[in-house]
Structure 1
Amino acid sequence: MSEVVAKKVIDGGHPLDKAVWNALTGKQARFAVGNDRAVRLLASAGPFAALADSSSESFDALRLLISEQGPAALTTPDEVTLPSEFSVVRHAALLQMIWQREPEQTAWEHVRLVERDVPDMLALTAATQPGPFGPRTIELGNYIGVRKQGKLAAMAGERIRLDGYTEISAVCVDPAFRGQGHAVGLMRLLIAAICARGETPFLHVLASNEGAIAIYRKMGFVERRQMRLTVVDVVKA
């Protein structure tokens, strides 16, 4: 399937209801494979995919993408009814939160993470499980971190980007360095940078993660809506 994605306009609703679609047919099209029925990130950048609609043609296109790139993660406002040739690998309730406060002036010791940092980033995300992170995820946006005692102690970055909005993701801290404010400090730096571009930060968090949700609320994020995460694969013959 071609890596050139044709832009298909989907009318109605808030742009964040179809954040992945709007990103991969817009600002982040260079990281996408698919067509005007289904798109997804290159597997090396992440598993996220989106459908134009619930037609059989769109699911056929998604099936081809999964066959080529591996299981796909759909983030949708409503439950997805899958045809019989698909299987559910994971299903979870997400809370989509959006920034609604003036950015604060902040300073936090940090480094900009670049390609040579990817092995350390992969090790940290594997150990802390903040969400999918691949060898090319760093290319999606700005990633920053904190180095302590010769190791990557914490990181955070930008993942899904569409007109007017940027998602903060991969917020994680090595257990040995927790409780020192690194996650909040890095997030505040990202928030300020995103707002300076005239964009609005948003994020996704598991609805069951009450501790993280409380922190995000305190920082200035508010709940926009519930979302559904559905990781799908194709049924093997």
Structure 2
Amino acid sequence: MTGDDAAVLDDPVGESLRGHHAHLARRIGRAATYLADVCTFAAVSADPDAADWSDLARLLGRDAFADMFSSPATPPSGWEPVFVLEGRQMTWSGGGSAPAPATHDAAAPGGTHIVELGAADVPDMLDLVARTRPGPLWSRTRELGTYLGVRENGRLVAMAGERLRPPGWTEISAVCTAPEARGQGHATRLVTELAARVLSRKERPFLHVAEANTGAIALYERLGFTFRKRVTFRGYRTP
């Protein structure tokens, strides 16, 4: 990958909706968002005009949540701000040196295993996210890519998965560990396994993290991710 290949990361939501996730998209004109229960992220063009914002409002509905993710575009007056969160975007810089992907039941210490999560695991995934709050996850979010988990005595205690898919890249997201299972290296194993799978497809991993989450940033740096740019996550409510 060259430096120019990273330009698609400036609009990861729009690039995903136009490409790998087009089958999960809803759109009107140049405005797009994901299907309900898959993801709340929405996108407009790089230079949105009034018509684009009007199309997005029609797409989402009245008084609806518009999760603009890291888009720097500012909607017109009448769109009520809901949240602002400072973060950073990090990209894999390990030079393709991640270990080869493990088997689907890669052993972890203590008799736990890394397992692929499917439709039957969604209730446990939602419960873990509710307890750990790594970011939004909905009933169909797992359709964005592969999600892996660690179970202890049958209970899901750690998880990570693939989310946005701009050309040549895959975002690692939803990295979380239940409080009672922390300190055992589950996040390291899950992120490493996902990175290896992404690299095996000749793509590069990237991720987003809240600027205040210094512990996670330190972990990702140890695993081979480096800072690319600062981003501001924003959400609005449509008129």
Q: Provide TM-score, normalisation by structure 2.
A: 0.88
* Amino acid across the alignment from 1:198: K
Q: Secondary structure at the match of 2:128?
A: helix
Q: Which residue of 2 aligns with 1:65?
A: 59
Map 1:49-198; keep pairs closer than 5 Å: 49-52=42-45, 53-67=47-61, 70-76=64-70, 78=72, 80-101=73-94, 102-105=97-100, 108=108, 109-198=113-202
Q: Tell me by how many angstroms 1:179 deviates.
A: 0.6
Alpha carbons 1:96, 1:227 under 8 Å: kept: yes
* Amino acid across the alignment from 1:214: A
Q: Tell me by how many angstroms 1:21 deviates.
A: 0.4
Unaligned stretches of 5+ in structure 2?
Answer: none
RMSD: 1.8
**Once the two structures are superposed, what CA deviation does each residue of 1:37-57 show, in whole Å capped at 9, x if it has no partner?**
111112301111111132101
Q: How many angstroms apart in 2 are the aligned matches of 1:232 and 1:97?
A: 25
Number of corresponding residues: 223
Q: Which residue of 2 aligns with 1:7?
A: none
* Amino acid across the alignment from 1:65: L
* Amino acid across the alignment from 1:225: K
Percent of aligned pairs sharing the same letter: 41
Q: Which residue of 2 aligns with 1:6?
A: none
**Once the two structures are superposed, what CA deviation does each residue of 1:130-189 show, in whole Å capped at 9, x if it has no partner?**
111000001110001011022101110001112100000011111110110001101100
Q: Tell me by how many angstroms 1:72 deviates.
A: 2.1
Which residue among 16, 20, 23 is the counterpart of 2:13? 20
**Once the two structures are superposed, what CA deviation does each residue of 1:46-102 show, in whole Å capped at 9, x if it has no partner?**
111111132101111111122179412113363x32211211111111200000102
Aligned CA distance change for structure 1 residues 20 and 77 (closer, same or farther; 3 Å): closer
Q: Provide TM-score, normalisation by structure 1.
A: 0.89
Which residue among 181, 196, 209 is the counterpart of 1:205? 209
* Amino acid across the alignment from 2:32: V
- Highest RCO, 1 vs 2 (Cα 8 Å, sep ≥ 6): 2
Unaligned stretches of 5+ in structure 1?
Answer: 1-11
* Amino acid across the alignment from 1:113: L
* Amino acid across the alignment from 2:193: L
